[in-house]
Amino acid sequence: MKEKNNFMPAIDDLGKFFGDERPKVVKYLLAQYGKYGFGQDDADDCFQEGCMAVWRNIQDGKLTEENLTCSLSTYLTTCCRNHATHSLKKMVSIETFEGIIDEEGNLTRDVPDDHDDTPKEEIVEILIEVVADLPEPCDKVLWGFYRDNLSMDAMAQMLGYSNADTMKTTKSRCMKKLKERMLNILKDM
Amino acid sequence: MKKELTNILNDDKQLESALCEAMHRVGEQRDGARINAMKQMSEDEFRQMLNKTATEPVPRVNMFSRSMFVRAIAACACLVLVLVGINYIDMGQQNNPAGYASLFNTYYQGDKVNWNTFDAGDDKLNAKGHPSTAYMLENATKLMSRRDARGNHEGIRRLEYLLTLNYKKSLEHEIRWYLGLGYMRDGQVNKARLEFRRVISLKSPHTADAQQILQKLK
Protein backbone atom coordinates (compact mmCIF):
# COMPACT_ATOMS: atom_id res chain seq x y z
CA MET A 1 0.00 0.00 0.00
CA LYS A 2 2.86 2.27 0.97
CA GLU A 3 4.56 1.47 -2.32
CA LYS A 4 1.44 2.42 -4.24
CA ASN A 5 1.18 5.77 -2.46
CA ASN A 6 4.63 6.62 -3.79
CA PHE A 7 3.22 6.21 -7.27
CA MET A 8 0.26 8.52 -6.75
CA PRO A 9 1.77 11.37 -8.84
CA ALA A 10 2.49 8.86 -11.62
CA ILE A 11 -1.07 7.55 -11.41
CA ASP A 12 -2.43 11.11 -11.57
CA ASP A 13 -0.27 11.72 -14.63
CA LEU A 14 -1.55 8.44 -16.07
CA GLY A 15 -5.14 9.64 -15.67
CA LYS A 16 -4.25 12.87 -17.43
CA PHE A 17 -2.42 10.95 -20.15
CA PHE A 18 -5.41 8.72 -20.96
CA GLY A 19 -7.75 11.69 -20.61
CA ASP A 20 -5.73 13.61 -23.23
CA GLU A 21 -5.35 10.59 -25.50
CA ARG A 22 -9.03 9.68 -25.51
CA PRO A 23 -10.39 12.55 -27.69
CA LYS A 24 -7.36 12.32 -29.99
CA VAL A 25 -7.77 8.59 -30.60
CA VAL A 26 -11.56 8.75 -30.87
CA LYS A 27 -11.35 11.55 -33.45
CA TYR A 28 -8.70 9.63 -35.35
CA LEU A 29 -10.73 6.42 -35.42
CA LEU A 30 -13.86 8.26 -36.50
CA ALA A 31 -11.95 10.00 -39.28
CA GLN A 32 -10.42 6.71 -40.45
CA TYR A 33 -13.38 4.36 -40.10
CA GLY A 34 -16.42 6.65 -39.99
CA LYS A 35 -17.01 5.88 -43.66
CA TYR A 36 -17.55 2.21 -42.76
CA GLY A 37 -20.31 3.09 -40.34
CA PHE A 38 -17.99 3.26 -37.36
CA GLY A 39 -19.68 5.49 -34.78
CA GLN A 40 -18.81 7.38 -31.61
CA ASP A 41 -19.75 4.46 -29.37
CA ASP A 42 -17.61 2.06 -31.43
CA ALA A 43 -14.67 4.45 -31.18
CA ASP A 44 -15.17 4.78 -27.41
CA ASP A 45 -15.23 0.99 -27.08
CA CYS A 46 -12.09 0.61 -29.17
CA PHE A 47 -10.28 3.18 -27.04
CA GLN A 48 -11.28 1.30 -23.89
CA GLU A 49 -10.17 -2.02 -25.37
CA GLY A 50 -6.94 -0.50 -26.68
CA CYS A 51 -6.12 0.80 -23.19
CA MET A 52 -6.84 -2.61 -21.71
CA ALA A 53 -4.56 -4.19 -24.32
CA VAL A 54 -1.75 -1.85 -23.26
CA TRP A 55 -2.33 -2.72 -19.61
CA ARG A 56 -2.38 -6.47 -20.40
CA ASN A 57 0.81 -6.25 -22.49
CA ILE A 58 2.54 -4.53 -19.58
CA GLN A 59 1.34 -7.19 -17.14
CA ASP A 60 2.46 -9.98 -19.53
CA GLY A 61 5.88 -8.37 -19.91
CA LYS A 62 5.44 -7.80 -23.64
CA LEU A 63 5.71 -4.07 -23.13
CA THR A 64 8.39 -2.74 -20.82
CA GLU A 65 10.09 0.60 -20.30
CA GLU A 66 13.15 -0.85 -22.03
CA ASN A 67 11.59 -2.31 -25.14
CA LEU A 68 9.23 0.58 -25.92
CA THR A 69 10.80 2.06 -29.03
CA CYS A 70 7.99 4.40 -29.99
CA SER A 71 6.02 6.74 -27.75
CA LEU A 72 3.37 5.28 -25.46
CA SER A 73 0.86 7.46 -27.26
CA THR A 74 1.72 5.87 -30.63
CA TYR A 75 1.62 2.41 -29.05
CA LEU A 76 -1.82 3.06 -27.56
CA THR A 77 -3.17 4.46 -30.83
CA THR A 78 -1.92 1.40 -32.67
CA CYS A 79 -3.61 -0.94 -30.18
CA CYS A 80 -6.89 0.98 -30.57
CA ARG A 81 -6.57 0.95 -34.35
CA ASN A 82 -5.89 -2.81 -34.35
CA HIS A 83 -8.99 -3.34 -32.28
CA ALA A 84 -11.02 -1.18 -34.64
CA THR A 85 -9.86 -3.11 -37.72
CA HIS A 86 -10.67 -6.36 -35.93
CA SER A 87 -14.14 -5.20 -35.09
CA LEU A 88 -14.71 -4.04 -38.64
CA LYS A 89 -13.24 -7.24 -40.06
CA LYS A 90 -11.51 -5.13 -42.62
CA MET A 91 -7.89 -4.31 -43.03
CA VAL A 92 -7.34 -0.64 -43.61
CA SER A 93 -3.81 0.38 -44.36
CA ILE A 94 -2.59 3.29 -42.32
CA GLU A 95 0.96 4.15 -43.12
CA THR A 96 1.71 6.05 -39.95
CA PHE A 97 1.28 3.17 -37.54
CA GLU A 98 1.67 0.19 -39.85
CA GLY A 99 4.08 -2.39 -38.55
CA ILE A 100 5.18 -0.75 -35.30
CA ILE A 101 3.56 -3.49 -33.25
CA ASP A 102 1.87 -6.71 -34.29
CA GLU A 103 -1.62 -7.79 -33.31
CA GLU A 104 -0.29 -9.46 -30.18
CA GLY A 105 1.24 -6.20 -29.04
CA ASN A 106 4.86 -7.16 -29.69
CA LEU A 107 7.15 -4.50 -31.06
CA THR A 108 8.17 -5.39 -34.60
CA ARG A 109 10.54 -2.61 -35.51
CA ASP A 110 12.05 0.59 -34.31
CA VAL A 111 10.45 3.87 -35.19
CA PRO A 112 12.68 5.27 -37.93
CA ASP A 113 14.98 8.00 -36.81
CA ASP A 114 16.57 9.97 -39.61
CA HIS A 115 18.19 12.60 -37.45
CA ASP A 116 21.88 11.94 -37.82
CA ASP A 117 23.27 15.09 -36.25
CA THR A 118 23.99 14.67 -32.58
CA PRO A 119 22.88 17.87 -30.88
CA LYS A 120 24.96 19.50 -28.17
CA GLU A 121 24.08 18.33 -24.69
CA GLU A 122 23.58 21.85 -23.31
CA ILE A 123 21.18 22.73 -26.10
CA VAL A 124 19.18 19.57 -25.47
CA GLU A 125 19.04 20.44 -21.75
CA ILE A 126 17.62 23.87 -22.57
CA LEU A 127 15.12 22.35 -24.98
CA ILE A 128 14.04 19.78 -22.38
CA GLU A 129 12.93 22.70 -20.17
CA VAL A 130 11.19 24.42 -23.07
CA VAL A 131 9.32 21.37 -24.40
CA ALA A 132 8.15 20.31 -20.94
CA ASP A 133 6.05 23.45 -20.76
CA LEU A 134 4.75 24.24 -24.23
CA PRO A 135 1.51 26.22 -24.59
CA GLU A 136 -1.59 24.79 -26.31
CA PRO A 137 -1.90 23.77 -29.13
CA CYS A 138 1.88 23.64 -29.69
CA ASP A 139 2.10 21.16 -26.86
CA LYS A 140 0.12 18.56 -28.83
CA VAL A 141 1.38 19.56 -32.27
CA LEU A 142 5.12 19.46 -31.61
CA TRP A 143 4.93 16.39 -29.38
CA GLY A 144 2.80 14.60 -31.96
CA PHE A 145 5.23 15.41 -34.74
CA TYR A 146 8.62 15.01 -33.08
CA ARG A 147 7.91 12.43 -30.40
CA ASP A 148 5.01 10.37 -31.75
CA ASN A 149 6.23 10.51 -35.38
CA LEU A 150 2.72 11.22 -36.60
CA SER A 151 2.08 12.30 -40.16
CA MET A 152 0.46 15.69 -40.77
CA ASP A 153 -2.71 13.94 -41.96
CA ALA A 154 -2.99 11.78 -38.85
CA MET A 155 -2.37 14.77 -36.59
CA ALA A 156 -4.97 16.85 -38.43
CA GLN A 157 -7.52 14.09 -37.84
CA MET A 158 -6.58 13.66 -34.20
CA LEU A 159 -6.50 17.32 -33.29
CA GLY A 160 -9.52 18.30 -35.36
CA TYR A 161 -7.79 20.40 -38.05
CA SER A 162 -9.35 20.59 -41.50
CA ASN A 163 -6.36 19.20 -43.42
CA ALA A 164 -2.62 18.58 -43.43
CA ASP A 165 -1.88 22.05 -44.82
CA THR A 166 -3.56 23.75 -41.87
CA MET A 167 -1.60 21.45 -39.63
CA LYS A 168 1.66 22.45 -41.33
CA THR A 169 0.85 26.13 -40.82
CA THR A 170 0.13 25.55 -37.13
CA LYS A 171 3.33 23.57 -36.75
CA SER A 172 5.43 26.33 -38.30
CA ARG A 173 3.77 28.88 -35.98
CA CYS A 174 4.63 26.65 -33.04
CA MET A 175 8.23 26.40 -34.17
CA LYS A 176 8.29 30.18 -34.30
CA LYS A 177 7.01 30.36 -30.71
CA LEU A 178 9.57 27.80 -29.64
CA LYS A 179 12.32 29.92 -31.19
CA GLU A 180 10.98 32.99 -29.41
CA ARG A 181 11.23 31.17 -26.09
CA MET A 182 14.74 30.12 -26.87
CA LEU A 183 15.63 33.68 -27.83
CA ASN A 184 14.37 34.85 -24.44
CA ILE A 185 16.60 32.28 -22.77
CA LEU A 186 19.49 33.53 -24.89
CA LYS A 187 18.84 37.11 -23.76
CA ASP A 188 18.88 36.08 -20.09
CA MET A 189 22.23 34.32 -20.48
CA MET B 1 27.16 28.31 -25.38
CA LYS B 2 25.50 31.57 -26.48
CA LYS B 3 27.04 31.13 -29.89
CA GLU B 4 25.77 27.56 -30.16
CA LEU B 5 22.28 28.61 -29.18
CA THR B 6 22.35 31.42 -31.74
CA ASN B 7 23.57 28.98 -34.39
CA ILE B 8 20.85 26.48 -33.65
CA LEU B 9 18.17 29.17 -33.89
CA ASN B 10 19.37 29.94 -37.40
CA ASP B 11 19.55 26.32 -38.49
CA ASP B 12 16.12 24.65 -38.63
CA LYS B 13 17.54 21.18 -39.26
CA GLN B 14 19.79 21.34 -36.23
CA LEU B 15 17.00 22.76 -34.10
CA GLU B 16 14.65 19.94 -35.16
CA SER B 17 17.30 17.37 -34.37
CA ALA B 18 17.83 18.83 -30.88
CA LEU B 19 14.08 19.12 -30.38
CA CYS B 20 13.63 15.47 -31.30
CA GLU B 21 16.32 14.45 -28.86
CA ALA B 22 14.85 16.57 -26.05
CA MET B 23 11.35 15.27 -26.64
CA HIS B 24 12.48 11.67 -26.80
CA ARG B 25 14.31 12.04 -23.51
CA VAL B 26 11.40 13.72 -21.74
CA GLY B 27 8.95 11.36 -23.42
CA GLU B 28 10.87 8.25 -22.50
CA GLN B 29 11.03 9.39 -18.90
CA ARG B 30 7.31 10.11 -18.78
CA ASP B 31 6.33 6.93 -20.63
CA GLY B 32 8.60 4.85 -18.40
CA ALA B 33 6.88 6.24 -15.31
CA ARG B 34 3.48 5.55 -16.86
CA ILE B 35 4.38 1.95 -17.69
CA ASN B 36 5.61 1.41 -14.14
CA ALA B 37 2.44 2.95 -12.74
CA MET B 38 0.27 0.69 -14.91
CA LYS B 39 2.33 -2.32 -13.92
CA GLN B 40 1.36 -1.74 -10.31
CA MET B 41 -2.35 -1.30 -10.97
CA SER B 42 -4.86 -4.10 -10.80
CA GLU B 43 -7.33 -4.51 -13.65
CA ASP B 44 -10.12 -2.99 -11.56
CA GLU B 45 -8.01 -0.03 -10.54
CA PHE B 46 -6.99 0.54 -14.16
CA ARG B 47 -10.59 0.29 -15.40
CA GLN B 48 -11.71 2.68 -12.68
CA MET B 49 -9.12 5.21 -13.74
CA LEU B 50 -10.12 4.83 -17.40
CA ASN B 51 -13.77 5.37 -16.56
CA LYS B 52 -12.86 8.66 -14.89
CA THR B 53 -11.32 9.84 -18.17
CA ALA B 54 -14.54 9.02 -20.00
CA THR B 55 -16.63 11.56 -18.06
CA GLU B 56 -16.17 14.28 -20.65
CA PRO B 57 -17.74 13.22 -23.95
CA VAL B 58 -15.94 13.89 -27.19
CA PRO B 59 -18.00 16.47 -29.15
CA ARG B 60 -20.58 14.70 -31.31
CA VAL B 61 -19.70 16.85 -34.29
CA ASN B 62 -16.92 14.36 -34.92
CA MET B 63 -19.46 11.63 -35.57
CA PHE B 64 -19.01 12.38 -39.22
CA SER B 65 -15.72 13.32 -40.77
CA ARG B 66 -14.55 16.85 -41.38
CA SER B 67 -14.74 16.37 -45.14
CA MET B 68 -18.39 15.35 -44.84
CA PHE B 69 -19.04 18.45 -42.75
CA VAL B 70 -17.43 20.65 -45.41
CA ARG B 71 -19.46 18.87 -48.10
CA ALA B 72 -22.66 19.43 -46.16
CA ILE B 73 -21.88 23.16 -45.81
CA ALA B 74 -21.05 23.36 -49.54
CA ALA B 75 -24.33 21.62 -50.42
CA CYS B 76 -26.28 24.08 -48.24
CA ALA B 77 -24.45 27.00 -49.85
CA CYS B 78 -25.33 25.67 -53.33
CA LEU B 79 -28.96 25.27 -52.33
CA VAL B 80 -29.08 28.84 -51.03
CA LEU B 81 -27.46 30.11 -54.25
CA VAL B 82 -29.99 28.23 -56.39
CA LEU B 83 -32.88 29.59 -54.33
CA VAL B 84 -31.48 33.12 -54.48
CA GLY B 85 -30.97 32.73 -58.24
CA ILE B 86 -34.56 31.59 -58.79
CA ASN B 87 -35.81 34.40 -56.60
CA TYR B 88 -33.61 36.85 -58.52
CA ILE B 89 -35.12 35.81 -61.86
CA ASP B 90 -38.62 35.89 -60.42
CA MET B 91 -38.06 39.31 -58.91
CA GLY B 92 -36.88 40.62 -62.26
CA GLN B 93 -40.04 39.36 -63.87
CA GLN B 94 -42.30 40.63 -61.11
CA ASN B 95 -40.79 44.14 -61.21
CA ASN B 96 -41.17 44.14 -64.91
CA PRO B 97 -44.76 44.92 -65.81
CA ALA B 98 -45.95 43.42 -69.07
CA GLY B 99 -46.25 46.92 -70.59
CA TYR B 100 -42.55 47.63 -70.22
CA ALA B 101 -41.66 44.25 -71.68
CA SER B 102 -43.83 44.82 -74.74
CA LEU B 103 -42.39 48.33 -75.19
CA PHE B 104 -38.91 46.84 -75.03
CA ASN B 105 -39.82 44.27 -77.68
CA THR B 106 -41.25 46.98 -79.92
CA TYR B 107 -38.21 49.23 -79.82
CA TYR B 108 -35.32 46.84 -79.27
CA GLN B 109 -33.32 46.28 -82.45
CA GLY B 110 -29.93 45.48 -81.05
CA ASP B 111 -29.87 42.08 -82.72
CA LYS B 112 -30.43 43.64 -86.16
CA VAL B 113 -27.58 46.10 -85.95
CA ASN B 114 -24.23 45.30 -87.52
CA TRP B 115 -22.03 46.86 -84.91
CA ASN B 116 -18.86 46.22 -86.94
CA THR B 117 -19.75 49.09 -89.20
CA PHE B 118 -19.43 51.44 -86.24
CA ASP B 119 -15.80 50.58 -85.61
CA ALA B 120 -14.42 50.17 -89.11
CA GLY B 121 -11.15 48.33 -89.40
CA ASP B 122 -11.12 46.74 -85.96
CA ASP B 123 -14.06 44.51 -85.20
CA LYS B 124 -13.18 43.49 -81.65
CA LEU B 125 -10.16 45.35 -80.40
CA ASN B 126 -9.40 49.01 -80.89
CA ALA B 127 -6.00 50.47 -81.77
CA LYS B 128 -4.85 50.19 -78.13
CA GLY B 129 -5.78 46.52 -77.92
CA HIS B 130 -8.85 47.14 -75.73
CA PRO B 131 -12.30 45.85 -76.65
CA SER B 132 -13.89 48.36 -78.97
CA THR B 133 -16.99 50.30 -77.93
CA ALA B 134 -18.96 48.66 -80.74
CA TYR B 135 -17.87 45.18 -79.63
CA MET B 136 -18.84 45.82 -76.02
CA LEU B 137 -22.13 47.33 -77.13
CA GLU B 138 -22.84 44.32 -79.31
CA ASN B 139 -22.21 41.92 -76.43
CA ALA B 140 -24.36 43.92 -74.03
CA THR B 141 -27.28 44.14 -76.42
CA LYS B 142 -27.02 40.43 -77.20
CA LEU B 143 -27.40 39.73 -73.52
CA MET B 144 -30.39 42.06 -73.28
CA SER B 145 -32.12 40.26 -76.13
CA ARG B 146 -32.37 37.15 -73.97
CA ARG B 147 -35.76 36.38 -72.48
CA ASP B 148 -34.63 36.15 -68.88
CA ALA B 149 -34.24 39.11 -66.57
CA ARG B 150 -30.73 38.01 -65.73
CA GLY B 151 -29.49 38.64 -69.28
CA ASN B 152 -31.07 42.08 -69.18
CA HIS B 153 -29.40 42.86 -65.86
CA GLU B 154 -26.02 41.74 -67.16
CA GLY B 155 -26.52 43.83 -70.31
CA ILE B 156 -27.34 46.89 -68.17
CA ARG B 157 -24.30 46.27 -65.99
CA ARG B 158 -22.02 46.11 -69.02
CA LEU B 159 -23.44 49.27 -70.56
CA GLU B 160 -23.08 51.13 -67.25
CA TYR B 161 -19.49 49.93 -67.12
CA LEU B 162 -18.90 51.00 -70.72
CA LEU B 163 -19.96 54.53 -69.80
CA THR B 164 -17.19 54.67 -67.19
CA LEU B 165 -14.58 53.87 -69.87
CA ASN B 166 -13.09 55.98 -72.61
CA TYR B 167 -15.83 54.96 -75.02
CA LYS B 168 -16.36 56.15 -78.57
CA LYS B 169 -18.35 59.38 -78.18
CA SER B 170 -20.16 58.92 -81.49
CA LEU B 171 -21.75 55.81 -80.00
CA GLU B 172 -22.88 57.39 -76.74
CA HIS B 173 -26.45 57.84 -77.99
CA GLU B 174 -26.57 54.07 -78.80
CA ILE B 175 -25.24 53.13 -75.39
CA ARG B 176 -27.79 55.36 -73.67
CA TRP B 177 -30.62 54.19 -75.94
CA TYR B 178 -30.08 50.52 -75.10
CA LEU B 179 -29.42 51.35 -71.49
CA GLY B 180 -32.78 53.19 -71.39
CA LEU B 181 -34.51 50.19 -72.96
CA GLY B 182 -32.86 47.87 -70.44
CA TYR B 183 -33.91 50.05 -67.51
CA MET B 184 -37.44 50.20 -68.84
CA ARG B 185 -37.66 46.43 -69.19
CA ASP B 186 -36.35 46.09 -65.67
CA GLY B 187 -39.01 48.47 -64.33
CA GLN B 188 -36.49 51.20 -63.43
CA VAL B 189 -38.66 53.85 -65.07
CA ASN B 190 -36.97 56.96 -63.65
CA LYS B 191 -33.54 55.85 -64.82
CA ALA B 192 -35.01 54.91 -68.20
CA ARG B 193 -36.57 58.39 -68.61
CA LEU B 194 -33.23 60.01 -67.85
CA GLU B 195 -31.46 57.97 -70.51
CA PHE B 196 -34.13 58.64 -73.13
CA ARG B 197 -33.87 62.38 -72.44
CA ARG B 198 -30.11 62.15 -72.98
CA VAL B 199 -30.71 60.25 -76.25
CA ILE B 200 -32.90 63.14 -77.41
CA SER B 201 -30.34 65.73 -76.34
CA LEU B 202 -27.65 63.87 -78.32
CA LYS B 203 -29.80 64.22 -81.45
CA SER B 204 -29.76 60.46 -81.95
CA PRO B 205 -31.53 58.68 -84.81
CA HIS B 206 -33.56 57.13 -81.94
CA THR B 207 -34.89 60.56 -80.89
CA ALA B 208 -38.39 59.99 -82.26
CA ASP B 209 -38.63 56.58 -80.61
CA ALA B 210 -37.29 57.98 -77.35
CA GLN B 211 -39.92 60.72 -77.40
CA GLN B 212 -42.65 58.17 -78.04
CA ILE B 213 -41.53 56.03 -75.14
CA LEU B 214 -41.31 59.05 -72.84
CA GLN B 215 -44.93 59.83 -73.75
CA LYS B 216 -45.95 56.27 -72.91
CA LEU B 217 -44.02 56.25 -69.66
CA LYS B 218 -45.85 59.30 -68.27
Residues B82-138: tens digit of each pLDDT: 777 665 554 444 455 667 877 888 888 877 777 777 665 555 666 666 677 888 888
Contact A39/B34, CB-based, under 8 Å?
Answer: no
Contact A146/B19, CB-based, under 8 Å?
Answer: yes
Q: What is the DSSP letter of B123?
A: S
To 10 degrees, the CA torsion angle through B208, B214, B215, B216? 110
B-chain residues within 8 Å CB-CB of A48?
50, 54
Q: What is the DSSP letter of A112?
A: P
pLDDT-derived band at B65, boundaries 50, 70, 90: low
Element housing B188 (H / E): none
B-chain residues within 8 Å CB-CB of A116?
17
Question: Of A30, A121, A12, A136, which Cα lies nearest the Cα of A84?
Answer: A30
Contact B64/A113, CB-based, under 8 Å?
Answer: no
Contact B34/A146, CB-based, under 8 Å?
Answer: no
Q: What is the mean pLDDT of residues A69-91?
A: 81
Q: Between these two residues, B75 and B115, which has the higher pLDDT value?
A: B75
pLDDT-derived band at B193, boundaries 50, 70, 90: very high
- Distance in angstroms (rounded) separating the CA atoms of residues B204 and B192: 16
Q: Between these two residues, A8 and B134, which has the higher pLDDT value?
A: B134
Q: Between these two residues, A184 and B166, which has the higher pLDDT value?
A: A184
**Residue A19 confidence (pLDDT) above 80:** yes
**Residue A93 confidence (pLDDT) above 90:** no
Q: Taking the CB of residue A99, how many other CB atoms lie within 10 A of it? A: 9
> Which of A54-68, A71-85, A88-102, B172-186 shows the lowest mean pLDDT across its residues?
A88-102
User: What is the least distance, in Å, from the CA of B99 to any CA of chain A?
Assistant: 54
User: Rounded to whole angstroms, what are the CA distances from A45 to A17, B41, B57, B103, B186?
Assistant: 18, 21, 13, 73, 63
Contacting B residues, span 44-73, partner chain A, CB-CB under 8 Å: 46-47, 49-50, 52-54, 56, 58, 60, 62-66, 68, 70
- CA of residue B122 relative to chain centroid, distance: 32
- Distance in angstroms (rounded) separating the CA atoms of residues B147 and B162: 22
| pLDDT score of B136 | 85
User: What is the least distance, in Å, from the CA of B27 to any CA of chain A?
Assistant: 7
User: Rounded to whole angstroms, what are the CA distances from B31 to A29, A67, B38?
Assistant: 23, 12, 10
| pLDDT score of A8 | 60
Is this model's pTM higher than 0.95 or not? no
**Residue A91 confidence (pLDDT) above 50:** no
Does the N-terminal peptide bond of residue A112 adopt cis geometry, omega within 30 degrees of 0?
Answer: no
- Distance in angstroms (rounded) separating the CA atoms of residues A39 and A42: 5
Q: Which spans in B66-132 are helix H?
A: 66-94, 98-107
pLDDT-derived band at B178, boundaries 50, 70, 90: very high
Q: What is the mean pLDDT of residues B55-64?
A: 51
**Residue A119 confidence (pLDDT) above 50:** yes
* Bridge partners, residue B125, by sequence: B131
Q: What is the mean pLDDT of residues B47-71?
A: 65
Q: Between these two residues, B199 and A87, which has the higher pLDDT value?
A: B199
- Distance in angstroms (rounded) separating the CA atoms of residues A23 and A138: 17
**Residue A173 confidence (pLDDT) above 50:** yes
* pLDDT winner (highest mean) among A147-161, B6-20, B104-118: A147-161
B43 in reach of chain A (CB within 8 A): yes
Q: ipTM score here?
A: 0.71
Exposure letters A113-150 (e unless 16+ CB within 10 A, then b): eebeeebbeebbebbbebbeebeebbebbbbbbbbbbb
Q: Using CB atoms, which residue from B1, B13, B58 is nearest to A27?
A: B58
Q: Taking the CB of residue A173, how many other CB atoms lie within 10 A of it? A: 13
> Counting beta carbons within 10 angstroms of the beta carbon of residue B192, is it exposed (0 to 12), middle (13 to 18) or buried (19 or more)?
buried
**Residue A96 confidence (pLDDT) above 50:** no
Mean pLDDT of chain B: 79
Q: Which residues make Cβ contacts (< 8 Å) with residue B131, sequence separation at least 6?
A: B124, B125
Contact B49/A18, CB-based, under 8 Å?
Answer: yes
Contact B35/A68, CB-based, under 8 Å?
Answer: yes
First vs last Cα of chain B: how many Å apart? 90
- Distance in angstroms (rounded) separating the CA atoms of residues B63 and A38: 9
**Residue A22 confidence (pLDDT) above 80:** yes
Q: What is the mean pLDDT of residues A47-60?
A: 92
pLDDT-derived band at A97, boundaries 50, 70, 90: very low
- For testing contact with chain A, the best of B9, B35, B64 (most A CBs within 10 A): B35
User: Number of C-alpha atoms within 13 angstroms, CB side, residue A26?
Assistant: 25
Q: Taking the CB of residue A4, how many other CB atoms lie within 10 A of it? A: 12
The three-state secondary structure class of A29 is helix
- Distance in angstroms (rounded) separating the CA atoms of residues A104 and A95: 19
B-chain residues within 8 Å CB-CB of A49?
none
Q: Which residues make Cβ contacts (< 8 Å) with residue B103, sequence separation at least 6?
A: B184, B185, B213, B216
